[in-house]
Structure 1
Amino acid sequence: MTAADSARTAPGAPAVAVLGTGIMGSGMARSMLRAGIPVRVWNRTRSRAEPLRADGATVTDTAEEAVRGADVVLTALNDGPSVAQTLKDAAPGLRPGQVWLQSSTVGTDATTDLAHRAGELGLVYLDAPVSGTRQPAEQGTLTVFVSGPSTARTSVLPVLDAIGQRTLWVGEEPGAATRLKLVANTWVINMVNAVAECLNLAEGLGLDPRLFLDAMKGGPLDTPYLQGKSAAVLSGDLSPSFALSTALKDTGLILEAAEAAGVKLDLVEASAERFTRAEAAGHGDEDMIATYHAGRRA
């Protein structure tokens, strides 16, 4: 660490290793760096981590190198298998007592498995999925759901304050936060498909979709989400703040959890079909409002 880096480091700030620098991981890393938290980052494709060097992060070649000496390890990866493999790769650099802040949305079964793996390595496991997309991650305004031992709260508080505007402590049991995240994602997934279908129907009936948006504007049924996602479609800018392929993955996790709980989710099943059609048409890497394309005539 250079003298300039030391000057930017907040007194008493924990050293953090961020594993995974996609949309969410890179945003959270930048938020921590702005707060004076020293950050080492790793990504399987190193070129996706390199831009964080300009923000003050140390970019490492391996996950093992990133976690060695860190106080907190934050994982922000795509799914359960990716998290499990990365933990295996990082294991030689880990030490008992490190706090693992697991922010990836991996579902209930994978969360249980990861908690067991953490116990075997002597890590303090915090189940900590986040609610938000690219902009909140970059701005440090995510909502963080956390479950795990309350004894770890003090050590991770600077990290949680840097990445989120609100932290909900859900309980001592790892997995409770993940279950809440699946419920929250159910709301988002159904809402984005509702927006897409309204735009589809307006166009199909020969209406300018802006008339529908104007009819909703300022009323009790209007939301910034409706206006923002519709604007993305109408402008043709589907740059991902949350990728459609990731939304499809999360939809699968929700349906698995619902089946295990004996709950029938008809709207989520329909959303899964729309996401699948949109992904098959080549829109998987676009924002999840690209589900709009699943409802257009060929």
Structure 2
Amino acid sequence: MTMTTTMATNETKIAFLGLGGMGTPMARRLLAAGYGLTVWNRTSARAEALVAEGAVAAASPAEAVRGADVVITMLADPAAALAVADAMIPALRAGATWIDTSTVGPDTVRELVSRLPDGVAFIDAPVMGSVDRAADGGLLILAGGETAPVDGLLAELGSVRRCGEVGTGAALKLVLISGVIGGVALLAESLRLAGALGLPEDLTRSALEASPLGGLVGRLFATEAHFPVALAAKDVGLALATGVGGLPVLEAVHGVLASRPDLATSDVSSLHP
């Protein structure tokens, strides 16, 4: 597939598809930076606040991307990414760059790329960080593919770690997010154990913070982050679906997450009793 790209500037026309908890603050940062922004979301009401700030709402994915220089997607799962791809790909112009920031895994990335016409560049760029980091431009962007033409645009969202060829960003995201989710789940159980043993929570927390687990303790008690348990289960499920064997701890974590439909929309910190 032959690809061409255009260096992104503030004159770049951006289409942003997917305005959930992460997509909305990411799109807002691009809008505030002066980029021309067209937005689309399956639930159209989610676009209203951004339209009030200067974005243009599109009625469909195809309408959103038509004429866009850069397309950014932030979608919930592989099914959503593939469905939106089918709707928008026929309208992509030659020379456009598609940046997918969704967490969908390398298999889905390869499927998305296989559907692209010649002349459209693809970057898989899933992010680490929750809504707080999305709002302040502090995301870690794990990028597979050639990012140079859109470095300035990505800098509005966070810092870029270049991972290699297309698909490597999606792969590294599964590694990192599995470690974080697994660590948070384990810490939640550690605190439950401490409570059962009669230890004060403040004592346990301060000791854990002083340990090598300190960073994860901060995530477990974060109040401005929001990573729903259902999406955490989805991400761990994607890691397990790669077919890599010998991951019994991750399988157990996935079982715990999937068994808590009562917490599906709650942040993973809700695992803490």
TM-score (normalizing by structure 1): 0.82
Structure 1 SS opposite 2:199 = coil
Task: Give the Cα separation in 2 of the matches to 1:292 and 1:214.
Answer: 15
Deviation at 1:289, TM superposition (A): 2.1
Paired residues of 1:213 and 1:227 also in contact (CA < 8 A) = no
Q: Deviations over 1:119-151 (max 9, x none)?
A: x36421111111111111111111111112x3x
| 3-state DSSP of counterpart to 1:242 | coil
CA distance in 2, matches of 1:132, 1:51: 22
Please list, as runs of the form range in 1=range in 2, the aligned pairs for 1:254-269 lying within 5 A after superposition: 254-257=239-242, 259=243, 261=244, 263-269=245-251
Structure 1 Cα separation of the partners of residues 99 and 46 of structure 2: 21
Which residue of structure 2 lines up, in the alignment, with residue 290 of structure 1?
270
How far, CA to CA, are the matches of 1:106 and 1:82 in structure 2? 9
- Alignment RMSD: 2.1
Contact 2:68-2:93 within 8 A present in 1 as well: no
State the partner residue of 1:124.
121
Q: Is the 8 A contact 2:65 2:92 kept in 1?
A: yes
Deviation track 1:185-236 (CA, whole Å, cap 9, x = no partner) reads 121111110221122212223333222113334x24352541452365xxxx
Report how many residues are paired.
Answer: 266
Richer in helix (by share): 1
Q: CA separation of 1:228/1:103 partners in 2, compared to 1, >3 Å: closer, same or farther? A: closer
Q: Distance in 2 between matches of 1:224 and 1:176?
A: 25
2:162 matches 1:169: yes
Return 5+ residue gaps in structure 1 as ranges.
1-9, 233-238, 294-298
- Corresponding residue for residue 54 of structure 2: 56
CA 1:231–1:99: 2 relative to 1, 3 Å:
closer
Secondary structure of the corresponding residue to residue 144 of structure 1: strand
Alignment equivalent of 1:153, drawn from 144, 148, 152: 148
Select which of 166, 176, 183 maps to 1:184.
Answer: 176
The Cα offsets for residues 2-51 of structure 1, whole Å up to 9 and x where unpaired, read as: xxxxxxxx964421111100111112101112221221111000112222
Contact 2:222-2:269 at 8 Å conserved across structures: no
Give the letter for the 2:260 counterpart: A
Looking at structure 2, the residues matched to 27 and 231 of structure 1 have their Cα atoms a distance apart, in angstroms, of 18
Correspondence 1:221-260 to 2 at 5 A: 221=212, 223-230=214-221, 232=223, 241-257=226-242, 259=243
Partner residue in 2 for 1:211: 203
SS in 1 for 2:182: helix
Provide the residue aligned with 2:102 in structure 1. 104
Residue in 1 aligned with 2:27? 29
* Local SS of the residue matching 1:26: helix
> 1 CA distance for matches of 2:101 and 2:240?
20
Check conservation: 1:13, 1:158, Cα contact below 8 A. Answer: no
TM-score normalised by the chain length of structure 2: 0.90
Question: Which blocks of at least 5 consecutive residues in structure 2 are unaligned?
Answer: 1-7
Preserved contact between residue 278 and residue 291 of structure 1 (Cα < 8 Å): no
CA contact (8 A) 2:132 2:225 kept: no
2:65 counterpart residue number: 67
Specify the alignment match of 2:138 in structure 1. 141
